[in-house]
Amino acid sequence: MNRHIPIYQLYGEDPGKRHDFWLHCETIMSRSSRHQWEIRLHRHEAFFQILYIEAGSGDATFGSETHPIRPPSIIAVPPGLSHGFRFSRDIEGLVITILSSHLGHQPGERSRFGEWLATPHLTPLDLLNADAAYVVQTLKRIGEEFDHRNNGRNELLTSYVKLALRLTARISHADNLNQLPANEGERRMDMLNGLIQQHFRSHKPISFYAGELGISLTHLNRIVRSMAGCTAHDLLTAKLIEESKRELVFSLASVQEVGHRLGFADPAYFSRFFVKQTGETPRAWRLREIQTLDKASF
């Protein structure tokens, strides 16, 4: 059946045309109005698409199934899927096309998120929900950053895309839309991540987390390595570095105060820990990152 479905790069562009940038963003109105508000059934072999429906209505077709579109909602279209759309003339929103190899997680990989990426989703948004509101804000920032072409936009767009997809997947699972049953490893990982979020400032040993989960340390590391490709200690370290960076960029606290907030009694040890993980001192990293953000500001 798929051999009769056109293969496009971006809707109707020539498949042989080279696209140097990994992301494209435009309004749904600007694209669909050129096609009488109907995008016929087609597929993209190398692109993942996100459509944000802000206003208007329409239908989305995935293969042989058609679903009504109501705002606000997000449509996720994996590569290789035959899909098409019909929109009302008052449609408002964005279509973001991403080179699938740039997602980091490949559609179809053995993880809950990887399998979510490999499946089409039409996710309604409740804008009173904090995650949904943040997804919308993030998608709009993608549109602005793409249009403005400021310095450093590539790194920012990468972060925005990953954030938008992760939050949309969370909302989709929470609403039980196309939710996949979690296996034992996924349940253990969810519990572990919750425990790390609760206790990472206390610098508890990994044996503490294994005990809280009721499993051995060896079993815990086996699960984490299978699901995340690293050890439980690596997860805890990554959380501490993530929070360190957030505090260094978004607070006025001194490096010593940041270390203390994160449970490091010795400021020198915090600096050594940060250097080991990032290759820079906390102070040098903070100055460089703030300069980068200033250059990339809207």
CA 139 to chain centre: 11
Separation between Cα atoms, residue 226 and residue 229, nearest integer Å: 6
Question: How deeply is 40 buried, as exposed, middle or buried, from its count of CB atoms within 10 A (0-12, 13-18, 19+)?
Answer: middle
Whole-number pLDDT of residue 110: 52
Mean pLDDT across the chain, nearest whole number?
83
**122 DSSP β-pair partners:** 75
Q: Left, alpha or beta for 152 (phi > 0: left; psi -120 to 50: alpha)?
A: left
The answer on pLDDT for 85 being more than 70 is yes
Q: What is the per-residue pLDDT across 203-215, written as a single tens digit (0 to 9) for each? A: 999 999 999 888 8
Helix axes 232-250, 282-295, angle to 10 degrees: 60
Task: Please indicate, yes or no, whether the overall pTM of this predicted structure exceeds 0.85.
Answer: no
| Residue 246 confidence class, pLDDT cut points 50, 70, 90 | confident
The answer on pLDDT for 266 being more than 70 is yes
Length of the chain: 298
Q: What is the per-residue pLDDT across 269-291, written as a single tens digit (0 to 9) for each? A: 999 999 999 999 999 999 988 78
Compute the Cα dihedral for 177, 101, 77, 134 and give only its sign: positive
Whole-number pLDDT of residue 109: 45
Q: What is the per-residue pLDDT across 177-230, written as a single tens digit (0 to 9) for each? A: 334 344 667 888 888 988 999 999 999 999 999 998 888 888 888 888 888 888
Structural domains in the chain plus CATH codes: 2-174 (2.60.120.280), 184-295 (1.10.10.60)
